[in-house]
Amino acid sequence: MKVAVVGATGMVGQMMMKVLREKSFPITELIPVASERSVGKTIDFGGMECTVVGLQTAIDMKPDIAIFSAGGGTSLEWAPKYVDAGIVVIDNSSAWRMDPTKKLIVPEINGDLLTSEDKIIANPNCSTIQLVLTMRPLHAKYGIKRVVVSTYQSISGSGVAAINQMENERNGIDGEMAYSYPIDRNCIPQCDDFLQNGYTKEEMKLTNETKKILDSKINVTATAVRVPVAGGHSEAVNIEFENDFDLSEVRLLLHNQDGITLKDDPTTNSYPMPLYASGKDDVFVGRIRRDESQANTLNLWIVSDNLRKGAATNAVQIAEILLKKGLVGVIA
């Protein structure tokens, strides 16, 4: 079982390799792939010393699966070339997510849809994953009409340059600016570029990807904010249902949903925080309460480690499904 990780030297790529090791994914050969400036470097993968190679060299090495986390432009150009060579691609960029011919997969929700016809499989946006995983059992039971979500997204979503900026600011060091404004002791209400409708790309990803994964009839509106947290995305979510609900049943539905951990006890000040989600694969849900201003409406708070479940773990779980279904490799 040969697996290529494209973008292996980046934050997400490194996390993907970490998760592959932790999950004991049956890899006989790891092929780390990166830009030309990193070619020739070595990466330790569970005791295996792996040499970083370029994109074409990786194709020539004929991996079974290639997990891409190298940006949309790279994916658009190279993913089809990998597919032409008989390699299944799991892509973490936004390049293929809204392509009607490609499936957008959260394994706990729609992993069963994968077939031998799926050669490029899209990994959703990190903020979308934690949102739809929480919505899924509630939509099945009560029918969701509308969702209003405000995100509090960690700077790790912008890469290592953003983390360096915050650390420099905290230590009084002048350095490269990943954002147009200081991030320490600040909140920036802009994640990604603005579009003509006044929303950012990140906000529209939440809208469009949720509709594609769950139900095109659900209305979604979002505000995405970057906050001075090193890792972990948080979301304040307001959900309006077609039908009324019982709070105890809501908690039970969420408790029974694979991939969700409830942390919801106001009597002990127990609620999800990035501090608790760090390094974990589950999505944490709490602050569950009725919206007293409107009928059939629920408020809750969702937190997840954006580099793990929001990127690496979700991609590896897709690879696990492909292996289990016999769509790649050989099952021992």
| Dihedral Cα 55, 60, 62, 63, nearest 10 deg | -20
Which residues are catalytic, by number?
126, 233
Q: Could you identify the residue written with the tokens 């409107």?
A: 294
**Helix (H) / strand (E) containing 109:** helix 107-110
Q: How far apart are CA 274 and CA 152, in angstroms?
A: 10
Q: How far apart are CA 128 and CA 314, in angstroms?
A: 12
- The C-alpha angle with vertex 251 and arms to 248 and 255, in degrees rounded to 5, equals 140
Q: For residue 251, with 0-12 CB atoms within 10 Å meaning exposed, 13-18 middle and 19 or more buried, which class applies?
A: middle
Residue type at 133? L
Q: How far apart are CA 213 and CA 110, in angstroms?
A: 8
Q: How far apart are CA 40 and CA 110, in angstroms?
A: 38
Strands, DSSP E only, in the chain?
2-6, 29-33, 42-45, 48-51, 65-68, 88-91, 120-122, 144-153, 219-226, 233-241, 260-262, 283-290, 297-304
Strands 297-304 and 283-290: antiparallel
**Helix (H) / strand (E) containing 1:** none
According to DSSP, the residues that pair with 289 across neighbouring strands are 299
Q: How far apart are CA 109 and CA 135, in angstroms?
A: 10
